[in-house]
Amino acid sequence: MAVFLQDMQHNVRFPGQQEVGGKAVKARAFDAFQGSPGKQKYGIATRKGIAFVVFDSAMAARKLKVAPAGEKPKGGGDLKDGRRNDAGSRQFLRDMLDGESQSARSAAPAGKEKDRKERIKEKDQRLKEKEDKQPKKKAKKPAKKRLGGLTPPPTSYGVLANLGRTLLHYAQPIAHEYHEKPTQPSAMRASTAKKSKTEEDPEVHFAVAPATKGLMATLPEARPKSVTLPLKSTALVCIDFQKDFMSEGGFGHALGNDVTKLSEECLPGAQVLLAAAREKKLLVIHTKEAHREDLRDCCDMKRIGPRCPPEGKRIGEVLQEGMGRLLVDGSPGNEIVDVVKPVEGEVVLCKPGKGAFFMTGLNQLLRERGISHLIFCGVTTEVCVQVTMREANDRGYECVLVEDATASYIPKFKAAVIEMVRSQGGIVGYTTEKSEDVAKALKSAA
């Protein structure tokens, strides 16, 4: 059996805090009613003190009220931290269950009081001896949950209901906590649940080991130091060379940017890289930011959030006739510009976010093709290119950013990203200035 205690006055924090009626109730349970078989008891914490409902063997119910927290109870032990000590509480409650009133006990002669205590002690001793002699029984399966965790005998339901609607309201949450196995927090349930393949083998999130045989291309001009590319394990990634970002009437134009600068700055270098990669039969991946027609893969924050462009210039809307809906797959403006258009056999990846690894399956594709090194070009440097490089870096891919094959609407942003990528020993990857140097290294690979 258990007695539920609280100390609202001293705000003592006991194990097991419940939210009851919108107010925090702090409760603690300790053993009591030893030697009183056949009795079932449920504690109800109230703002003023502790109420107890005791079901005895005759199915009679009694409501007992213990003194409010912070006051010394009558007939019980001393108060400690706003609650009874264990021994005093057991004695006090045993006396109440024996049917003797506090006034009768206080008026009883000292001799009779001593005899009564000796009888109780003898009774406890007999019960303990009897219990020791009986063979231990196997634990029974817990009864089915009823009334939010209360499982008294069937006939006691009516008795409990008669104590009033308020009593039932407060009894359920507290009885539920101590008469059942506590529910595990969601985080704990997740950790004990059956683990998925990716949880058991974190290696599947990382790049495969680079090829040790075959042609190798070295970039001596790369910073912070030279890097060697195993051609069997190297791919060229072209980020978002789409009309939405590089032509008037696209999304970049809707944001107020001069889109003509991007084409002039990075497309010539990208053409050089593509020609060299195709000649060496490297895996070539083209990405474009493209959402489904129903925009289910575009979150509200990105589509209609407080930082979005005004109406008429948002994702899924038409800014200029002939370009179609902004950033929607299948629209004319969502196609890759002609000078770096994909050819047969090259991968075109539609990504709903800034990073190419988000909701695309790119990591699985690269692992299946045995890729460990990535050469990057594309737009814009500080957004989609940088985000994808950082995603790749987290997954163990060696990344090389080709400076004259990437561009930004804001030149200082491009310069900042290049410096960040190669700083601190190449914290994100390598940079190399000229696409011609990369093409030369690929062609002369040995």
Q: What is the pLDDT of residues 22-57, one digit of tens each?
A: 333 333 333 333 334 444 443 444 344 444 433 333
The predicted model scores a pTM of 0.58
Q: Which of 179-188, 271-280, 376-385 is predicted least confidently?
A: 179-188
- Is the distance from CB of 384 to CB of 240 less than 8 angstroms? yes
Tell me what pLDDT residue 134 has. Answer: 72
Spell out the domain ranges in the chain.
2-109+144-182, 209-443
Q: How far is CA 23 from CA 9, 44, 51, 211, in A?
A: 14, 14, 17, 63
- Answer with the residue of higher pLDDT: 19 or 391: 391
Q: Which residues contact 230 (CB under 8 A, 6 or more apart)?
A: 210, 211, 212, 214, 215, 216, 372, 373
Q: What are phi and psi of 270, to 5 degrees?
A: -65, -35
95, 240, 244, 404: which one is catalytic? 240
Tell me: domain 209-443, CATH 3.40.50.920, correct? Answer: no
Q: Give the residue from 324, 230, 318, 334 showing the smallest Cα distance to 282.
A: 230
Task: Assess contact for 428 and 393: CB atoms under 8 A.
Answer: yes
* Pairing, β 234-239 against β 227-230: unpaired
Of 288, 351, 354, 414, the active-site residue reads 351
- SS3 state at 159: helix
351 catalytic? Reply is yes
Asked whether the beta carbons of 43 and 52 are under 8 A apart, the reply is yes
Question: What digits encode the pLDDT tens for the residues 308-320?
Answer: 999 999 999 999 9
167 in Cβ contact with 51 (< 8 Å): yes
pLDDT in tens, 232-274: 999 999 999 999 999 989 999 888 898 888 999 999 999 999 9
356 vs 106, higher pLDDT: 356
Look up 384 and say whether it is catalytic.
yes
What distances in angstroms separate CA 186 from CA 178, 179, 199, one per listed residue? Answer: 19, 21, 17
Q: Which of 377, 384, 404, 414 is catalytic?
A: 384
User: What pLDDT was estimated at residue 300?
Assistant: 95
- CB under 8 Å to 382, separation ≥6 — which residues? 408, 410, 413, 414, 416, 417
- pLDDT band at residue 109 under the 50/70/90 scheme: low
**Amino acid identity at 294:** D
The region of weakest confidence among 14-23, 147-156, 318-327 is 14-23
Helix (H) or strand (E) holding 125: helix 110-133
pLDDT digit string, tens, across residues 218-230: 999 999 999 999 9
Residue 238 falls in the annotated catalytic set: no
For residue 195, count other CB atoms closer than 10 A to its CB: 11
| pLDDT per residue as tens digits for the range 373-427 | 999 999 999 999 999 999 999 999 999 999 999 999 999 999 999 999 999 999 9
Output 163 or 32, whichever has higher pLDDT. Answer: 163
pLDDT mean across residues, the chain: 74
Q: At residue 167, does pLDDT exceed 60?
A: no
Q: At CA 177, angle to CA 172 and CA 180, rounded to 5?
A: 100
